[in-house]
Amino acid sequence: MSGVLLNIVTVMLGTAIGLLFGNLISERFRQIVFLAIGSCTVGFGAIITVGGFTDLRVTEVGSLALLVPVFSLVIGAIVGEALRIEQRLAGFGGWLEKRMPTRQRQVTDRQDSESTDLKPTTQNHSFIEGYMTATILFCVGAMTFLGSIQAGLGDPSILYLKSLLDGISAIALACALGIGVGFSVFSILIIQGGLALLGMLFGDFFTPAIIAAIDLVGGIMLIALGIEIIGIHKMKVANMLPALLVAMVFAWLLG
């Protein structure tokens, strides 16, 4: 669990740095930072998607690789919408926000009440949005799943690298989205800690085909998250999270 704990520490540290320097950066620069984060997320998602598809093609899944993201995302999104995962995550974020210090809540509420422009400015982004964006960014993708599983098997090296990258990302996110980013550590603890535990118990289940399927579907979800961060369209990425589980089962059945 050392990799999971290090990831939590780096995200908290990155958030603290981002909040400290975010107050010293003008709104104009925070806007461009926010757009840069969205663009990088789209780029990372595309790289992971291509890598996942390439890896999946050379496994026993073969030419059926294209079916994995289609069925996984469609079925997963329907399940996620039925379960209202995004709404429940937002509710949890709201619960956390109510337990913030009174002064910080007043600042957040004032920012939300002043938000009238739909452009991606800092004032338009509440505590909840910062929490949800950071949760998806830090908890969806190849490094999260593969790193956590390998950590459960006794090799936390991937999570060590992920911790460094997430800490740097948290700085930029906190500058743009505020303190909600730091509270994503609860999601990191639950998701990465749970995956590490699964790795300890069922490590042999995660074959190369299953890992590649997770990469493929997770990469597409990151692209969708980047589109949402930039402000092009609301994608409800959190409702797509069950697609990762569907991809694992689908790849296992095909294999």
Tens digit of each residue's pLDDT (9 = 90 or more) over 184-241: 999 999 989 998 998 888 877 888 888 889 889 988 988 988 888 788 888 888 888 8
The model's pLDDT over 82-136, given as tens digits with 9 standing for 90+, comes to 998 888 888 887 787 777 665 454 444 544 444 334 344 444 457 888 888 898 8
CA distance 61 to 70: 14
- What pLDDT is stored for residue 163 in this prediction? 92
The mean per-residue pLDDT over the stretch 4-18 comes to 94
- What pLDDT is stored for residue 183 in this prediction? 92
Q: Could you tell me which residue, 9 or 156, shows the higher pLDDT?
A: 9
For the ranges 21-35, 59-73, 168-182, 229-243, the lowest mean pLDDT is seen at: 21-35
- What pLDDT is stored for residue 124 in this prediction? 41
**Is the separation of the CB atoms in 142 and 191 below 8 Å?**
no
- What pLDDT is stored for residue 193 in this prediction? 92
Q: Residue 171 above 80 pLDDT?
A: yes
- What pLDDT is stored for residue 15 in this prediction? 93
For the ranges 165-174, 202-211, 242-251, the lowest mean pLDDT is seen at: 202-211
The model's pLDDT over 34-62, given as tens digits with 9 standing for 90+, comes to 788 888 888 888 988 998 899 998 888 88
- What amino acid occupies position 39? S
**Is the separation of the CB atoms in 46 and 225 below 8 Å?**
no
Torsion sign over Cα 210, 216, 220, 222: positive
Greatest mean pLDDT among 2-11, 22-31, 126-135: 2-11
Q: Residue 71 above 80 pLDDT?
A: yes
SS3 content of the chain, % helix, strand, coil (to 5): 85, 0, 15
CA distance 124 to 34: 12
- What pLDDT is stored for residue 129 in this prediction? 84
3-state secondary structure at position 5: helix
Q: pTM for the complete prediction?
A: 0.74
CA distance 179 to 16: 8
Greatest mean pLDDT among 88-102, 139-153, 176-190: 176-190
For the ranges 22-31, 39-48, 56-65, 168-177, the lowest mean pLDDT is seen at: 22-31
